[in-house]
Amino acid sequence: MAKIQSYVWYAGYGSNLSEQRFLCYIEGGRPLYGTRFHNGCTDKSPPVHEAPITIHHSLYFALPAGIRKTENWGDGGVAFISPHQDQETSTLSRMWKITRAQYEEVKDQEGATWYNHEIKLGEEDGIPIYTITNKTILRNILEPSETYLKTIALGLKETYRFDEEKTTNYLIEKKGIEGEMTKEHILEIFLSK
């Protein structure tokens, strides 16, 4: 008798808004603007479905204390959300329906020391929706790299049909960008090849 697969929705709010980037965690490969090769999951089946979701946890860019860059994106912070819910805040996200086994492997590839807190956001069609972040609000706030921002822009365009200006307006007030980057500079990043 065939085993019934157990599924979850995984909600990505940073670079995992981008399909090409997220599929590196599932199928393996290197992100378009990244430098790190991922082995992917044992089961390389693509997500069964995907859908936009707005989550009420504030988005910010940071790294753990003492760290200034990542292996994949270079200098700068990456996306985290506050572990605390805030109904006044809207973070745009994209959820991917994958097997529970794939989800566990995605969490491992994300880095269990940085993304060490799982949040259940609710359910869709009886299937739980999870996202991950750091268990504390990181204090090492850092401006994200251009390559990381371009990856987020790809995901917002795919998921929400955002153009460069809408993407800039969405990101400009996030911690790590607010007061560190001008709208003109962000637009320049998105319009450059």
Distance of alpha carbon 53 from alpha carbon 152, whole angstroms: 15
State mean pLDDT over 113-130. Answer: 96
CB 176 within 8 A of CB 144: yes
Distance of alpha carbon 45 from alpha carbon 23, whole angstroms: 10
DSSP-derived secondary structure letter, 182: -
Confidence (pTM): 0.95
CB 189 within 8 A of CB 76: no
State mean pLDDT over 128-148. Answer: 97
CB 23 within 8 A of CB 142: no
Q: How do 91-99 and 69-70 pair as beta strands?
A: unpaired
Summarised one tens digit per residue, pLDDT across range 167-180 is: 999 999 999 999 99
State the CB neighbour count (10 A cutoff) for residue 183.
12
Averaged pLDDT score across all residues of the chain:
95
pLDDT recorded at residue 193: 65
pLDDT recorded at residue 4: 60
Distance of alpha carbon 166 from alpha carbon 18, whole angstroms: 16
What DSSP string describes 122-155? EEETTEEEEEEE-SS--S-B-PBPHHHHHHHHHH
What is the number of alpha carbons within 13 Å of residue 119 lying toward its C-beta?
20
